Amino acid sequence: LCRFPLISVRNVPLMSLIASNFDTIWAFTPDPSDLLIATYPKAGTTWTQEIVDLLLHNGDAEACKRAPTPVRSPFLEICSPKPIPSGKMIKTHLPIQLVPLGFWENKCKTIYVARNAKDNLVSYYHFDRMNQTQPEPGPWDGYIHKFMRGDVGWGSWYDHVKGYWVEREKKNILYLFYEDMKENPRREVERIMKYLDLSLSDEVISRIVELTSFKNMKENPMSNYSCIPSQVFDHNISAFMRKGEVGDWRNHFTSEQSKMFDEDYKEKMKDVNIPFRDLI
Ligand code: A3P
């Protein structure tokens, strides 16, 4: 086992095991019934996967206990070329320009989740510490700069959130925000339900909100990533279900780091108006 170095694929740094398999990933053809859950790493992927799985199973509590999340909702970059059964929720962290074209040609439904840059960075930092296959994050201050340069797995957060944002209407992408999900999970579960053309009872929706609370997902061995061997995910360093909060960046950034980050952010994001919150 090793921490895979990053290798650039069309200017996007990817872990070497993914980069070396990229032609196969690019050739993947989904079924039109497949659903894509796309995120920058640590933006709320697993949470969304669990919500969608429960929506597709009418809120059956057993649904989220039948197998670990990555089995129920395969990770495109890691699973290709193993056949992914159709009608599945497929997870990807690829920026939009690297998503296999078959997803758009087949008009697959796509849910994108974005999380404010500072919390996303903090979560990624702790994940890079615990995930023994990703490059070492190094010291905190240096990591902020790596993130700002896009020198982390799956590249620039800025390009990622923008890429899906500008295409969201043309490609019928449901673009969600982690902060909205925290603020009013029920409202966001209902948005996902409508996007999937489902209509579930109020009672079922309440159950889904409850089953996908941070606490319940942390306690569910099928969604808390305890299925991954500790040589890969070392939960003693940092749990996969770490905090699940908005604004934890305030416990990490000094006021100088925050100011420097904000100035760079303004410049990088000046060409779009994505309504991120809780950044300042
Ligand atoms: P933190 O590190 O800030 O705690 P991903 O699934 O994309 O890897 O994202 C993981 C992040 O989402 C972690 O953030 C994790 O705790 C958080 N998360 C997972 N399930 C959640 C839930 N049900 N509610 C809120 N946050 C959740």
Say if CB 44 and CB 181 are below 8 A apart: yes
Q: Work out the average pLDDT over 86-114.
A: 96
Round to whole Å and give the CA distance between 201 and 60.
12
User: Considering only CA atoms, which residue is closest to atom 8 of ligand 1?
Assistant: 42
Q: Is 180 in the pocket of ligand 1 (CB under 6 A)?
A: no
Active site residues: 93
Round to whole Å and give the CA distance between 232 and 234.
6
Q: Is 116 in the pocket of ligand 1 (CB under 6 A)?
A: no
Give the Å distance between the CA of 249 and the centre of ligand 1: 14
pLDDT tens digits, one per residue of 145-198: 999 999 999 999 999 999 999 999 999 999 999 999 999 999 999 999 999 999
Tell me which of 84 and 229 has the higher pLDDT.
Answer: 229
Q: Is 207 in the pocket of ligand 1 (CB under 6 A)?
A: no
| Mutation probe of ligand 1 site: the residue of 219, 242, 253, 278 with most atoms within 8 A of C-beta | 242
* Confidence check: pLDDT of 267 > 80: yes
pLDDT tens digits, one per residue of 203-231: 999 999 999 999 999 999 999 999 999 99
Question: What pLDDT, on the 0 to 100 scale, is given for residue 279?
Answer: 83
- For the whole model, what pTM was predicted? 0.98
Report which ligand 1 atom has the smallest distance to the Cα of 39: 7
Give the Å distance between the CA of 264 and the centre of ligand 1: 25
Report which ligand 1 atom has the smallest distance to the Cα of 218: 20
ipTM score: 0.99
* Confidence check: pLDDT of 86 > 80: no
Report which ligand 1 atom has the smallest distance to the Cα of 241: 16
Spatial neighbors of 175 by CB under 8 A, at least 6 apart, are: 112, 114, 164, 165, 168
Phi, psi of 150 (to 5 degrees): 75, 25
Give the Å distance between the CA of 166 and the centre of ligand 1: 25
Round to whole Å and give the CA distance between 82 and 9.
21
Q: Record the tokens describing residue 64, joined without a space.
A: 């989220």
Q: Is 42 in the pocket of ligand 1 (CB under 6 A)?
A: yes
> If DSSP codes are grouped into helix, strand and coil, which group holds residue 6?
strand
Strand partners, 54: none
Round to whole Å and give the CA distance between 224 and 239.
9
Name the pLDDT band for 59 (thresholds 50, 70, 90).
very high
User: Considering only CA atoms, which residue is closest to atom 19 of ligand 1?
Assistant: 47
Percent of the chain residues past pLDDT 90, beyond the cut: 94
